[in-house]
Amino acid sequence: MTGFPIEVASRIKTLPPYLFAAIDKMKQAAIARGVDIINLGIGDPDLPTPAPIIDSLAEAARLPKHHQYPSYEGMLTFRQAVADWYHRRFSVKLDAANEVLTLIGSKEGIGHIHLAFVNPGDIVLVPSPGYPVYPVGTAFSGGLSHIMPLTRTNGFLPDLDAIPKDVAKKAKLMWLNSPNNPTSVVMTKEYFKRVVEFAYEHRIIVCHDAAYSEIFYDGKRPASFMEVDGAKEVGVEFHSLSKTYNMTGWRLGFVVGNRDVLAGLGKVKSNLDSGVFEAVQAAGITALGLDDTVTNHIRRIYQERRDTLVPGLKSIGLEVETPPAAFYIWVTVPNGHTSASFTAHLLEQAGIVTTPGNGFGAPGEGYVRMTVCTSKDRLAEAIERMKKLAM
Ligand SMILES: Cc1ncc(COP(=O)(O)O)c(C=O)c1O
């Protein structure tokens, strides 16, 4: 039998080109040449999951009651642990049964929520540069992204006044992300208050992505969107155990807030997935119940790394802000370079992998993103290598 051409759906065909492919290719070629690569491209903690969480999984995995399908919305005990954590961390009260939903990592919920609320042709307000799942989830549901550019001029915050009135009127959903990937910028409660007013005025569902809320520096804890009056009436907040507890591989996250929004997302989920392995949720309960010494320790390590990389980059004349949170450094490329050429230059001449800023959306052109998911010694080595380069 001869085959026939397999044609993908237009939603796949119209995906933006994968801008990281070229850098991946160059990285593989450098590795094949035997180059000692320093990877400042990955946004994945290199530290292990804390031992009590692993112990808890091992114990819970042995219990036959955890071997069956979990409930699609998550174990009530896990959702109660989320509510307790929220109260401890943000002084926000949540009803575990209706205002918390378990996710298979926050990416899963971020991608799927569009299916619940966005009709073909609806507008979704999307910050750019930003996490690519916001525009892709929008496109998969037939929606149209309206880009909110994050630039130095607007402090890398979406300028609500710059959104045309007719766009705001038609918008169904708005994405925000603080602490931000890739800029690391943090939104204040004052900013969130303006967002709530804007959302009320235009009847827009706010989806705040707080995946990095626990990676912060100098003891300055980022606010939750839910801390602001009226937030629960207009939106939801996505969280993840991935970055907070070095659990990216475990796939455990959650979303909290407006019960009607959660019910819509829950309906999509109940038709597409079957929830999170209960032993993983049991380990999640342990994680959320850990005292601050564990997360303080993780933060201290990232802070030491940040305080190695940022002054090092400044000392070689690169323009960079000191991030208040998250593990990303948003670096302006030197004059004469583009995001792509500077990324290639660092890789080919110094064996350093970074991510081109335009890979996060066109307004990211002119920047590269570096991460501190690499040991302090390797970061110091990266600086030494960069010092020898002509910028
Ligand atoms: C901004 C942002 N949100 C959400 C996620 C998804 O994290 P997870 O699915 O592991 O919870 C990531 C992962 O890199 C991210 O950068």
Contacts of 234 (CB under 8 A, 6+ apart): 196, 199, 200, 204, 205, 206, 258
Per DSSP, the residues of 332-382 read: EPPTT--HHHHHHHHHHHH-EE-EEGGGG-GGGTTEEEEE--S-HHHHHHH
Distance 235 CA to ligand 1 centre (A): 18
Segment 259-264 long-range contacts (CB within 8 Å, at least 24 positions apart): 259/95, 259/98, 259/99, 261/113, 261/116, 261/117, 261/205, 261/235, 261/236, 262/98, 262/99, 262/100, 262/101, 262/236, 263/98, 264/113, 264/116, 264/117
Q: Please tell me if the CB atom of residue 371 comes closer than 6 angstroms to any atom of ligand 1.
A: no
CA 179 – CA 220 distance, rounded (Å) = 12
Among 380, 296, 339, 245, which residue's Cα sits nearest to residue 19?
339
- CA–centroid distance, residue 21 to ligand 1 (Å): 20
pLDDT the model gives residue 19: 66
Is ligand 1 within 6 A of the CB of residue 211?
Answer: yes
Looking at residue 280, its pLDDT comes to 98
| Residue pair 22/365 in contact by the 8 Å Cβ criterion | no
Q: Which two tokens stand for residue 13?
A: 């065909």
Distance CA 118, CA 138 (A): 7
Letter for the amino acid at 125? L
pTM of the model: 0.97
Residue among 225, 240, 250, 255 whose CB has most ligand 1 atoms within 8 A, to mutate: 240
Q: Which of 242, 328, 360 to mutate to test the pocket of ligand 1 (most atoms within 8 A of CB)?
A: 242
Going from the first residue of the chain to its last (391 residues), give the mean pLDDT of each consecutive group of 10, the final group possibly shorter: 90 78 84 94 94 98 97 96 98 98 98 98 98 96 97 97 97 98 98 98 98 97 98 98 98 98 97 97 98 96 98 96 96 96 95 95 97 97 93 74
CA 43 to ligand 1: nearest atom = 14
Determine the atom of ligand 1 nearest the C-alpha atom of 44.
Answer: 14
Question: Atom of ligand 1 at shortest distance to CA of 209?
Answer: 3
- Please tell me if the CB atom of residue 255 comes closer than 6 angstroms to any atom of ligand 1: no
**Helix (H/G/I), strand (E/B), else coil: 115:** helix
Rounded distance between C-alpha atoms, residue 297 and residue 303, angstroms: 10
Q: Measured from the CA of 247, which atom of ligand 1 is nearest? A: 10
At 188, list the tokens.
Answer: 């204040």
Q: How many CB atoms lie within 10 A of CB 90?
A: 20
pLDDT value for 13: 87
| CB distance 182 to ligand 1 below 6 Å | no
Q: Which of 213, 243, 373 to mutate to test the pocket of ligand 1 (most atoms within 8 A of CB)?
A: 243
Most ligand 1 atoms within 8 A of CB, residue of 20, 208, 209 to mutate: 209
For residue 78, what are the contacts with CB-CB under 8 A and spacing of at least 6? Answer: 102, 254, 281, 282, 284, 285
Using CA atoms, how far apart are residues 256 and 246, in angstroms rounded to an integer?
21
Lookup result for tokens 């819509």:
264
Extended strands (E) in the chain: 38-39, 100-103, 123-128, 144-149, 171-177, 205-209, 235-240, 253-257, 319-320, 328-332, 352-353, 355-356, 367-371
Say yes or no: CB of residue 105 within 6 Å of ligand 1: yes
Write the CA distances from 314 to 22, 150, 349, integer angstroms: 27, 22, 19
Distance between alpha carbon 286 and the CA centroid of its chain, in Å?
A: 23
| Cβ(178) – ligand 1 distance below 6 Å | no
In ligand 1, which atom is closest to the CA atom of 252? 11
* Assigned token pair, 200: 């009320």
**Residue 107 CA to ligand 1 centre (angstroms):** 6
106 lines ligand 1 (CB under 6 A): yes
Q: How far apart are CA 229 and CA 161, in angstroms?
A: 21
Rounded-to-integer distance, Cα 155 and Cα 92, Å: 28
What's the rounded Cα separation, in Å, for the pair 234 and 228?
Answer: 11
Pocket lining: 240 vs ligand 1, CB cutoff 6 Å:
yes
Encoded tokens for 49: 């999951």
Helix, strand, coil abundance in the chain, percent, nearest 5: 45, 15, 40
Best mutation site among 42, 112, 181, 237 for ligand 1 pocket (most ligand atoms within 8 Å of CB):
181
Q: What DSSP designation does 20 have? A: T
Nearest partner of 114 among 103, 100, 126, 124, judged by Cα: 124
Ligand 1 contacts CB of residue 306 (under 6 A):
no
